[in-house]
Structure 1
Amino acid sequence: MKYKFSDLISRRERTKEVNCEFDMAPFHFEGEKMEPLSKVVVNGNIVSKNDEVLVDLHVQTKLKLVCSRCLETFIYPIDIDIEERFTNSEERREDEDVLFVIGDELDIAEIVESEIISTLPIKRLCTNDCKGLCQTCGKNLNKESCTCDNDNIDVRLAGLKALLENKEV
């Protein structure tokens, strides 16, 4: 899914419709492996205007992620819109409103993959109310409960707790 700037800018018809699907390879992000479970579906338009190209796309796919709390895998749907402006004109290289591309090719798959990565949440959770793992025995608290004493007591205050409970430290 590569388009040439020169073709897009020199054409009489300035709009190119994009409707495609492609396989995205598994990738690593923040030390974790992300696996696409379905093809990436891309629909939208590429519009050229003077020396820039506007990419307006809608992207959908599903990723298999690992929950940050319980370490179980879950399906994370991706449903995003991308609207970016690109140019390969040296005069506009420093323009902050337009992304500069070296060469004559605009790779839509590369743009889509980087946008998918940028939309991933920092803390990936299977559900908003995920209980995570027991800090003592490691059981998944979403599936079963445990009988561990999980009083989170600051070690520096353990003496005070013992004193209040009339215990010897």
Structure 2
Amino acid sequence: MKVLFSDLISKRERSKDLEYSFDMDKFTFSGEEMVPTEKVLVNGKIISNNTELLLDLNIKTVLKLVCSRCLETFIYPIDIDIEERFTNDDTIEDDDVTFVKGDTLDITEIVESVIISTLPIKRICSSNCKGLCQTCGENLNKSSCNCNDEGNIDVRFAGLKALLENKEV
């Protein structure tokens, strides 16, 4: 959805209600493919304040992500409120206002950028995800494995392990 600065700044009505949805394409983030499973719903208002536009939106969608620990796919709901200020007047020097070249503000592009910027770096299906066994690769959330954990001890901590077990190094 595109909005013209000149339409809102020059009109008597200096605000416009926004309510629309769009299909977001799958995208790659941190080397992984993110797949939207629902339309992106955008609700809010755009308000003109002389040379600035204030965008006050609520964004909702659902993404299908891959867990960083167990590599299973899971559903990640997104419900974000944003408040951003934009201008196309290059004389305004305010760090809180984003400069837009031209007369057009592409709200869909802003919404997609906000969704991507709010994704966690490490995506985990649940806080108690056990991940995969480092030896055999078994998903420890589904079953346990019979691998011996003794071989997975960091050699830098061998002395500490021996001390805790009252052994000589």
TM-score, normalization: structure 2? Answer: 0.91
Report what 1:39 is aligned to: 39
Structure 2 SS opposite 1:91: coil
For residue 154 of structure 1, report the CA deviation from its aligned partner.
Answer: 2.1
Report what 2:11 is aligned to: 11
Structure 1 SS opposite 2:28: strand
Letter matched to residue 112 of structure 2? E
Equivalent residues of 1:46, 1:53 under 8 A apart: yes
Distance 2:154 2:21 in 1: 53
Report what 2:148 is aligned to: 149
* Structure 1 unpaired stretches of 5+: none
Question: Kindly tell me: are residues 157 and 23 of structure 1, through their superposed partners in 2, closer, same or farther at Cα, counting changes over 3 Å?
Answer: closer
* Structure 2 unpaired stretches of 5+: none
- Deviating 4+ runs (over 3 angstroms): 156-161
Question: Kindly tell me: are residues 75 and 157 of structure 1, through their superposed partners in 2, closer, same or farther at Cα, counting changes over 3 Å?
Answer: closer
Structure 2 SS opposite 1:126: coil
Letter matched to residue 15 of structure 1? S
Structure 2 SS opposite 1:3: strand
For residue 165 of structure 1, report the CA deviation from its aligned partner.
Answer: 6.4
Aligned length: 165
Spell out the pairing of 1:1-169 with structure 2 (5 A cutoff): 1-92=1-92, 94-151=93-150, 152-155=152-155, 161=162
For residue 157 of structure 1, report the CA deviation from its aligned partner.
Answer: 5.8
Question: Kindly tell me: are residues 17 and 146 of structure 1, through their superposed partners in 2, closer, same or farther at Cα, counting changes over 3 Å?
Answer: same
For residue 155 of structure 1, report the CA deviation from its aligned partner.
Answer: 2.8
Same amino acid, percent of matched pairs: 67
Letter matched to residue 142 of structure 1? N
Letter matched to residue 22 of structure 2? F
Q: Cα RMSD over matched residues?
A: 1.9
